[in-house]
């Protein structure tokens, strides 16, 4: 299967070739023709499966055929749960608009940033990528109108519909025109999404590309059972002794993320923390530096556990366990993506062994334990 056989336009094909993207992923072979055929879609696919490009390419092709609407009457709305995912999706749209020389404009809007520049930038926007709260704010001040929408995308729908967004999403659904194309993408098929299928989708094409349990098949895992006060020395030992590059470390709190990053820096390991207390500009810069390989270690909270595409990430380290087994799977799923192998290392306090066994049961996989005698951190502090 090739992108040519999927009906992709010549200008977009050329842009794909410049990005060295030649073979479509399974979700792209299914979704692209369906969108071009104006079908509604409910796609169940893990992150890292090529989902974003599967809707970006056909949407751009659809818009090339349509008349431009009045100012501030957008044609495409992409709803996402986080600022980071909004920025990521927007960057994909913008890249292919620019590389294909299309007369289209995409914009990302989200909270945590001043609304005034976003209001001013809304002029002549075709594609709006938005978080729910900021979208409603822009609607309330008449900076954007949804009455003439042609395509609505819910990306990471499972997270948006179960993470405190329900009231906002209901308000948005009430504003949408009845005649539109609906594209929902989710990592799981929850009851809420099942009920939405009846409301939002018209005779949808349901695609289950990958089960969530398959998302860890390319990940080598190991667990260190270790006391809390030895976690920091062990982390530094692993990074330095194995000369690790591009390491994503997860903690369970903002304060701990800051402390871990500071301790790494004091020991000569380039590291920064990223979390909800950082400004949006700082978070964008940190993610960019990390993705480009200009930052060795990024210490994060669960803010980044899903929806962020970091290509060729070799290492994920769970400095602390998350409460939910699903969050654990989403964390380690940042590595081992798109057929690339990765490694996930987990630190487990002795008192957390029962909880870790619950996580293993959810994964349907027993994680190899590394015996303390196989490494020496006694001289580290």
Query: Are 183 and 225 found together in one domain?
Result: no
Where does a domain end: 166, 195, 210?
210
pLDDT value, residue 362: 87
Q: Which two tokens stand for residue 205?
A: 């094409």
Query: Are 38 and 104 found together in one domain?
Result: yes
Query: Are 96 and 75 found together in one domain?
Result: yes
pLDDT value, residue 212: 43
Q: How confident is the model at residue 211 (pLDDT cuts 50, 70, 90)?
A: very low
Query: Are 276 and 164 found together in one domain?
Result: no
pLDDT value, residue 331: 87
Q: Which residue has the higher pLDDT, 292 or 222?
A: 222
H/E element holding 270? none
H/E element holding 130? strand 127-130
User: At a CB cut-off of 8 Å and minimum separation 6, what does 198 contact?
Assistant: none
Range of the structural domain that residue 192 is part of: 10-210
pLDDT value, residue 308: 59
- Report yes or no on 325 lying in a domain: yes
Where does a domain end: 193, 210, 227?
210
User: At a CB cut-off of 8 Å and minimum separation 6, what does 283 contact?
Assistant: 83, 84, 274
- Number of domains within the chain: 2
Query: Are 206 and 217 found together in one domain?
Result: no
Q: Which two tokens stand for residue 173?
A: 């659904």
Query: Are 52 and 169 found together in one domain?
Result: yes
Find where tokens 């939910």 sit: 324
Query: Are 204 and 243 found together in one domain?
Result: no
Q: Is the pTM of this model over 0.85?
A: no
Query: Are 171 and 226 found together in one domain?
Result: no
Query: Are 369 and 296 found together in one domain?
Result: yes
Q: Which two tokens stand for residue 339?
A: 């057929």
- Report yes or no on 352 lying in a domain: yes
- Report yes or no on 101 lying in a domain: yes
Query: Are 255 and 205 found together in one domain?
Result: no
Q: Which two tokens stand for residue 42?
A: 């409910």
Q: Could you read off the pLDDT of 141-187 as tens digits, one per residue?
A: 999 999 999 999 999 887 777 657 888 988 999 999 989 999 998 87
How many angstroms separate the CA atoms of 333 and 269, rounded? 24
Query: Are 43 and 60 found together in one domain?
Result: yes
- Report yes or no on 4 lying in a domain: no
Residues 102 and 11: beta-carbon distance below 8 Å: yes
How many angstroms separate the CA atoms of 247 and 250, rounded? 10
In 3D space, the residue among 253, 227, 37, 58 whose CA is nearest the CA of residue 153 turns out to be 58
Query: Are 198 and 304 found together in one domain?
Result: no
Residues 125 and 72: beta-carbon distance below 8 Å: yes
Q: Which residue has the higher pLDDT, 101 or 20?
A: 101
Q: Which two tokens stand for residue 110?
A: 């989200």
- Report yes or no on 2 lying in a domain: no
- Report yes or no on 76 lying in a domain: yes
- Report yes or no on 1 lying in a domain: no
How many angstroms separate the CA atoms of 143 and 320, rounded? 43
Which CATH number covers residue 120? 3.40.50.300
What HEC string does 134-169 produce? HHHHHHHCCCCECCCCCEEEECCHHHHCCCCCHHHH
Q: How confident is the model at residue 373 (pLDDT cuts 50, 70, 90)?
A: low
- Report yes or no on 379 lying in a domain: no
Where does a domain end: 163, 185, 210?
210
* β pairing state of 127-130 and 151-154: unpaired
How many angstroms separate the CA atoms of 95 and 89, rounded? 10
**Secondary structure (3-state) at 72:** coil
């Amino acid at each position: 299967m090739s992108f040519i056989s999927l009906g992709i336009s010549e200008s977009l094909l050329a842009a794909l070739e410049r990005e060295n993207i030649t073979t479509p992923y399974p979700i792209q072979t299914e979704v692209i023709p369906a969108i071009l055929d104006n079908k509604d879609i409910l796609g169940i696919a893990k992150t890292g499966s090529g989902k974003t490009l599967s809707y970006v390419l056909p949407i751009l092709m659809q818009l090339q055929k349509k008349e431009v609407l009045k100012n501030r009457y957008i044609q495409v709305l992409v709803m996402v749960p986080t600022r980071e995912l909004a920025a990521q999706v927007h960057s994909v749209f913008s890249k292919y608009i620019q590389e294909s020389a299309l007369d289209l404009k995409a914009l990302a809007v989200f909270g945590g940033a001043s609304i005034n520049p976003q209001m001013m930038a809304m002029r002549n926007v075709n594609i709006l990528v938005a978080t729910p709260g900021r979208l409603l704010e822009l609607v309330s001040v008449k900076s954007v109108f949804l009455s003439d929408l042609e395509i609505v995308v819910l990306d990471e729908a499972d997270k948006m519909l179960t993470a405190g967004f329900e009231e906002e999403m209901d308000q948005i659904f009430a504003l949408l025109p009845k005649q539109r194309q609906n594209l929902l993408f989710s990592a799981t098929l929850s009851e809420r999404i099942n009920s939405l299928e009846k409301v939002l989708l018209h005779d949808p094409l349901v695609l289950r590309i990958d089960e969530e349990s398959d998302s860890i098949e390319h990940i080598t895992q190991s667990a260190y059972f270790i006391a809390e006060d030895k976690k920091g020395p062990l982390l530094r030992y692993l990074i330095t002794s194995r000369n690790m590059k591009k390491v994503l470390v997860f903690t369970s709190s903002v304060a701990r993320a800051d402390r871990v990053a500071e301790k790494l820096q004091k020991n000569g390991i380039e590291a920064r923390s990223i979390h909800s207390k950082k400004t949006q500009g700082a978070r964008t810069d940190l993610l960019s530096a990390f993705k480009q390989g200009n930052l060795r270690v990024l210490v994060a909270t669960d803010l980044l556990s899903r929806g962020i595409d970091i290509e060729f990430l070799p290492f994920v380290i769970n400095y602390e366990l998350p409460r939910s087994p699903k969050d654990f799977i989403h964390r380690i799923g940042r590595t081992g993506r798109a057929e690339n192998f990765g490694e996930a290392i987990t630190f487990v306090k002795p008192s957390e062994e029962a909880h870790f066994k619950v996580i293993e049961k959810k994964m349907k996989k027993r994680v190899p334990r590394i015996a303390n005698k196989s490494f020496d951190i006694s001289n580290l502090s």
